[in-house]
Amino acid sequence: MTEALLINPHSAEGIADAIRQALSMPREERIRRWRSLMDGVLGEDVFWWGRRFTDALMAEPQPAVAA
């Protein structure tokens, strides 16, 4: 979700800055970001994340590489 505006939910000032940024964003940018985020949500749902997580748990550990 690289197109999202990232905020610290514990910072009222940070939230206000993100809202200000979103409201002043050109319409074309808002649409582009929204489409990108929706593509991610539709393609990477909870089942995708669950499979990815369990696949990682079941994968064989990779040997450490000596430096």
Q: Is the pLDDT of residue 6 over 90?
A: yes
Whole-angstrom distance, CA of residue 55 vs CA of residue 61: 12
The 10s digit of each residue's pLDDT in 25-62 is 999 999 999 999 999 888 888 898 899 999 999 998 77
Whole-angstrom distance, CA of residue 14 vs CA of residue 4: 14
Q: What's the pTM? A: 0.62
Q: Is the pLDDT of residue 67 over 70?
A: no
Average pLDDT over residues 20-28: 96
Average pLDDT over residues 16-30: 96
Amino acid in the structure at residue 23: L
The whole-number pLDDT of residue 65 equals: 76
